[in-house]
Structure 1
Amino acid sequence: MKLKKVMALTMAGAMAATTLTACGSSSSTTETTKAAETTAAAAADTTAAAAADNGSSDAETVLQVAFENSISEPVGQGWEKAQEIIKEKSGGKMAIEIYPDSQLGDKSSLIDSMLLGENVCTLADGAFYADYGVPDFGIVFGPFLFDSWDQVWKLVDSDWYKEQCGKLEEKGLKIIASNWIYGERHTLTNVPVNTVDDLKGLKIRVPSNEIQSKGFDVLGATSTGMALGDVYQALQTKTIDGAENPLATLYGRKLHEVAKYLILDGHVKNFTTWVVSADWFNSLPEEQQTWLLETAEEAGEYNNEVQQAADAEYLQKMKDEGVTVVEPSEEVLAGFKEKAQPFYEMGADFGWSDGLYDTVKKAMGAE
């Protein structure tokens, strides 16, 4: 997508220069022709550089993987690993191009592209899938739902989860992996937060979906939906008072430079999923579908190793760079969990099935 735009600009520049040559006097013809050649060469260099940056190739099938995060974060490293894996599996027939830092737009615009059948992929979660027609999926992003990662993986392996994936595919979106740890989501603010009561009235940035918005509102904060790329400036100008995300993202986006208080509340154990157009996926030969699914799964395992190793490093870096870190006691966390419970009584607001909370708790082994 990006490369096509660069190539179009290259052609436009060359054509414009050629037109000037045809219309100009004979004395300027040579100079104008040289300018056209220089413009074309420079744009060609830019195209080549862009191809090298995102891993573009001449493979017969290409998937453009785009996300709002930095390439230096574990998810970025995971997809760099995926490039190697799929090249080996497919013998070069398939390739992955990587577009970090919102280069192809935000999550919602990428998902809209998928619904048009485009060959793009992004990370998304149950909260977004709830907004795209599978309401029960949203519960996986509820505050303080999981007590351990073991409960997360048990739920992902359950029949209930498979049913939700099937419903999502009927809506046009195909999940290709659900085993990526994005991290425990913590809260970074520009004023101290030591207990759940300290969140009262604070404007906290959340991704733009209903589940995460109401999940933070119920804790006493005022949620503010916003694209990740806009958060740094919003914190800097005090348009918002804080943001929540895993440590890798908070540090990767340098948000700690403009908000100096971090509470390790772990309000969501955020496993993420990678999603593509169902129409695009189903158009692939079965062999290519298998290569892609296996690649996404194996890259997820690599991501998890990187993510777990990086968390301690990110936390120490934030401390070294002046962030005050609060590690809440079990008593304080109990206060957060108690405050969150009314969220699970709002099922009718989200269009949830009757008894969904109990169904999910049973599926993850926490009856």
Structure 2
Amino acid sequence: MLFKTAIAALAVGLSFGLAGTADAQTKLKWAHVYETSEPFHTESVWAAEEIAKRTNGRYQIDVYPASQLGKEGDINQGLTLGTVDIIVSGSSFAARSYPPIGVAYYPYTFRSPEHLIAYSKSDVFKRLAEGYEKKTGNHIAAVTYYGTRQTTSNKPIEKCADMENLKMRVPDVPAYLAMPRACGANTAPIAFAEVYLALQNGTVEAQENPLTTIEAKKFYEVQKYIVLTGHIVDHLNTVFSKKLWNSLSDEDKKIFTDVVQEAAERATAKVEKREGELVQVFRDRGITVTEVDKNDFKNAVMERVPMEDFGYSKSDWDAIQAIQ
């Protein structure tokens, strides 16, 4: 009788132990707006799996791509609402809460992807990221090179003035609007997931995005020209919600940070490699790809759309220019 009682007690103990282990696993949601074929998704999935490994399964992170949990503005808001825990999103959206961090999106700020990555490791970036965190509580843990933004159109563009009255889709973010508006385009803030259809049915006749996005979203199927305006060397942040970041132990903070920074480096390398191949790929597909005098576009922006109008600091911009 005593033996049976002991066995029963052991079984109950094991049952509670297993339940406790299951309950200890924390489930998290990671959201972004990019396609499953893009490195911003594939490396997010890698990072989610790697965090699970390095924490011995204490965290299960499900990645939701392609605007499944909402548009970019929605998922940024979701960090505060608690509907998402981790997002991949640009500083342009972070700037809605803390405008100074948007200075990196002012056209022709960065000379190259290498300049951007150097900025992401600089004191000026750390200061701006800290300002964003103080304002929102959310923590920027990694920066990924998104690509250099180019213009696509159904009419040829050789100079800034050729964009006069051009119906162009641009994200509803001040820094993205700067170059097209400086050149006289009529901009439309169509959601990212709806751009292909808008180009196809003629709602707009142009848009701007990196070559890798033009490929992934198949914009080349409904555009005749790719114009290498190179107006923004773009980036994405991996952002942890305030709730998640504050809940992590110091050990787990290091694991999460190390992993997402590795993922950012992996994605950056893939983007740079593919970007270098795509001009010829598009030409082979019959798309006209043209170079332009970037100074023509840059001068128009500097003269007609001052960065101070967006809440950006010229001293921050100057500090970025000084980074080698």
Question: Do they fold alike, i.e. is TM over 0.5?
Answer: yes
Q: Indicate the percent of aligned positions where both proteins have the same amino acid.
A: 30
Give 1:101's aligned residue.
66
Q: CA deviation at 1:246?
A: 0.9
Q: CA deviation at 1:81?
A: 2.3
Does the 8 Å CA contact 1:261/1:324 hold for their aligned counterparts? Answer: yes
Indicate the SS of the match to 1:171. helix
Indicate the SS of the match to 1:131. coil
Indicate the SS of the match to 2:87. strand
Q: 1:258 aligns with which of 203, 210, 222?
A: 222
Matches within 5 A, 1:184-223: 184-223=148-187
Indicate the SS of the match to 1:271. strand
For the pair 1:295 / 2:242, whether they are aligned, the reply is: no
Indicate the SS of the match to 2:34. coil
For the pair 1:358 / 2:315, whether they are aligned, the reply is: yes
Coordinate RMSD, CA, aligned: 2.3
Q: TM-score, normalised by structure 2?
A: 0.86
For residues 286-342 of structure 1, the C-alpha deviation after alignment (integer angstroms, 9 at most, x for no partner) is: 2222211111100011101211221234333322322111133xxx12211211212
Q: 2:75 aligns with which of 90, 102, 110?
A: 110
Matches within 5 A, 1:239-258: 239-258=203-222
Q: 2:33 aligns with which of 68, 85, 100?
A: 68
Gaps (5+ residues) in structure 2? 1-21
Gaps (5+ residues) in structure 1? 1-56
Q: TM-score, normalised by structure 1?
A: 0.76
Letter in 1 for 2:214: L
Letter in 2 for 1:100: P
- Equivalent-residue separation in structure 2 for 1:205 and 1:335 (angstroms): 21
Letter in 2 for 1:302: R
- Equivalent-residue separation in structure 1 for 2:137 and 2:163 (angstroms): 35
Matches within 5 A, 1:34-113: 60-113=25-78
Give 1:341's aligned residue.
302
For residues 226-247 of structure 1, the C-alpha deviation after alignment (integer angstroms, 9 at most, x for no partner) is: 2110101110111111111111
Letter in 1 for 2:303: P
- Equivalent-residue separation in structure 1 for 2:73 and 2:233 (angstroms): 22
Q: Which runs of 4+ in 1 moved over 4 A?
A: none
Does the 8 Å CA contact 1:81/1:302 hold for their aligned counterparts? Answer: no
Higher relative contact order (CA 8 A, sep 6+): 2
Q: CA deviation at 1:366?
A: 5.9
- Equivalent-residue separation in structure 2 for 1:138 and 1:342 (angstroms): 19
Give 1:37's aligned residue.
none
Give 1:153's aligned residue.
117
